[in-house]
Chain A
Amino acid sequence: MTDAATPSEPTLHALYRDHHSWLESWLRRRMGNAWDAADLSHDTFLKVISSSQQLAELREPRAYLLTVGKRLLSSFYSRRSLEQAYLEALAQLPEDCVPSPEQRWLWLETLQALDELLDGLPGVVRRAFLLSQLDGLAYRDIAEQLDVSERTVKRYMAQAYEHCLLVDW
């Protein structure tokens, strides 16, 4: 970046200078790990750079950084719990079905994207949706499995489709 080339640059610089170590130590306290905290604090600033938020107009820069940082922290833990569940599921596979490393990566990446897509859906809606998408169950069978009416399943499915469409809109 050249100086004065972008009008927001000096403000970003000031934001970084004034709050970077504060944010990093906040994250370190939450995460108990300096490495991950440094990574995440970096990501937070990257997110801020790429956002359309006018930095000069920020009244409470720390509150803003914290909002962005918390969101990243939450998805960091989601990813980690997903990876753990994935590893456990892989370990359950019969030995002759163990996929190649490339295949494992591809699946993991797809699963991470889908996990983010579904983030925020209520648990039961999420499950109904997964039963339909992954297991290909009919609404009637999903209703039976979840012990709800077919009408409710239809509502859950519409809710899930709407959620996913809005995330990607």
Chain B
Amino acid sequence: MRAAPSNEEQDIVRKAAQWLALLESGDASEDDRRQLQRWRDSDSNHERAWQKAQQLRQRFSGLPSKLAMATLDRPDQARRAVLKRALGIAILAPTAWMVVRQLPIDAWRADLHTSTGEQNRWNLADGSTLRLNTASAANVDLTARRVTLIRGEMALKVPGSLPLTVQGPYGLIVVSQSEICVRLTDDSCRVQVVSGSVQLQPLQGPVLTLRAGEQISMQRSGAGAIGAFDATLPGWKDGVLSVQNQPLGDFLRELARYRPGLLRWEPELENLRVTGSFRLDSTDRILSLLAASLPLDVHSRTRFWVTLVPRQNPSPKKIA
């Protein structure tokens, strides 16, 4: 760390900056120019500051101006500065859940994966964004314009018109200027279109077009019927699990994907109903919330072995 400039140096720098701004403004008179020359000649430090000020301009030349403007004057800049001042640094950090991984800008091939309970986002070199949900893996090969989903769940946003082909076990999906979610289970692959539209080529059957708000399930035997889903509901990409009147069993099977270890429950609990949005960054808290609103108790032998049982003491609360 350098020593800070002295007061005198700061004054010289300020003067040089003011001279340069005056000159550039076009308001400088002949007299001003003579004064500037005298100021430069009077002290070698003045001249040095002046030269450095002139050189600053060169640092910005040679950059494509649109690209540089979009990057240096990015919209979050002002917001960040205000936040930094007002709230301190902590607020700038994403929550543990919303991690963004930056691939090296020229990584054209990458094997990406997440472990259980982890979720990651990658910005690809072509401007596309790929997110993996918990316990997922995908291979990216941008030279071949191909993304292969190996396991788990992925969201892919391709803003450009150059298509990326998503390869799954039961067919191909061609994505450009669109966003999709793809989820693999043991014997099927569900495709949802969040925005835009995509072409699907199942292993069997004709090519299909799927539009925003539509979903389909592909199997070995071909594609099922096109259905609808609510693309506006918050989902795993937002770090939440949202359900409406869902059987607790289904909810817990979904939740278990995000938890390492065992999650078990007594069969009587299977058909209790759950409604709400739950933040996925703490699945332990979700379990406590369930215990607070449903007639059940959470027994943890260890963090990795949790069993839900019907509450022993009859609760006065009635569950619809």
Contact = CB atoms under 8 A, between A and B. Distances in A.
Interface of A: 29-33, 50-53, 70, 73-74, 77-78, 80-93, 95, 101, 104-105, 107-108, 110-111, 113-115, 117-118, 120, 122-123, 126-127, 130, 132-136, 138-140, 150, 153-155, 157-162, 164-166, 168-169
Main secondary structure of the interface of A (DSSP, over half): helix
Given A32-B94, A32-B98, A88-B127, 5 more contacts: A83-B102, A101-B106, A113-B59, A114-B72, A153-B25
A20 to B, nearest CB: 20
A83 to B, nearest CB: 6
B126 A91 contact: yes
11 contacts: A31-B93, A33-B101, A77-B92, A88-B70, A110-B59, A111-B72, A126-B72, A164-B56, A165-B52, A165-B53, A169-B9
A162 B14 contact: yes
Contacts of A126: 72-73, 77
A130 B77 CA distance: 13
Interface stretch (B30-38, B60-68, B257-265, B285-293): B60-68
B99 A158 contact: no
Contact of B81 (A123, A140, A166): A123
A133 B13 contact: no
Contact of B63 (A87, A90, A134): A134
B316 interface: no
B105 A108 contact: yes
B110 interface: no
B94 A73 contact: no
Contact of B17 (A85, A86, A111, A158): A158
Interface of B: 1-2, 5, 9-10, 13-14, 16-18, 20-22, 24-27, 49, 52-53, 56-57, 59-60, 62-74, 76-78, 80-81, 84, 89-90, 92-102, 105-106, 123, 125-128, 159-160, 162
Given A158-B21, A165-B16, A90 B127 contact: yes
B304 to A, nearest CB: 19
B66 A89 contact: yes
Contacts of B123: 83-84, 87
Q: Lowest 4 CB-CB distances: which A-B pairs, in order? A: A91-B127, A32-B96, A161-B17, A123-B78
A133 B20 contact: no
Contacts of A154: 21-22, 25, 27
A129 to B, nearest CB: 9
B95 A161 contact: no
Nearest to B79: A123
A105 B127 CA distance: 15
A161 B20 contact: yes
Nearest to B5: A169
A78 to B, nearest CB: 8
Contact of A161 (B16, B25, B64): B16
Given A70-B89, A88-B127, A166 B95 contact: no
B1 A89 contact: no
A85 B70 contact: yes
A68 to B, nearest CB: 10
Nearest to A134: B65
Given A90-B67, A169-B13, A139 B25 contact: yes
Contacts of B98: 32
A159 B17 contact: yes
A133 B70 CA distance: 14
Contact of A33 (B22, B68, B99): B99
Contacts of A50: 1
A158 to B, nearest CB: 4
A123 B63 contact: no
A134 B56 CA distance: 12
B53 A161 contact: yes
Contact of B21 (A73, A85, A157, A166): A157
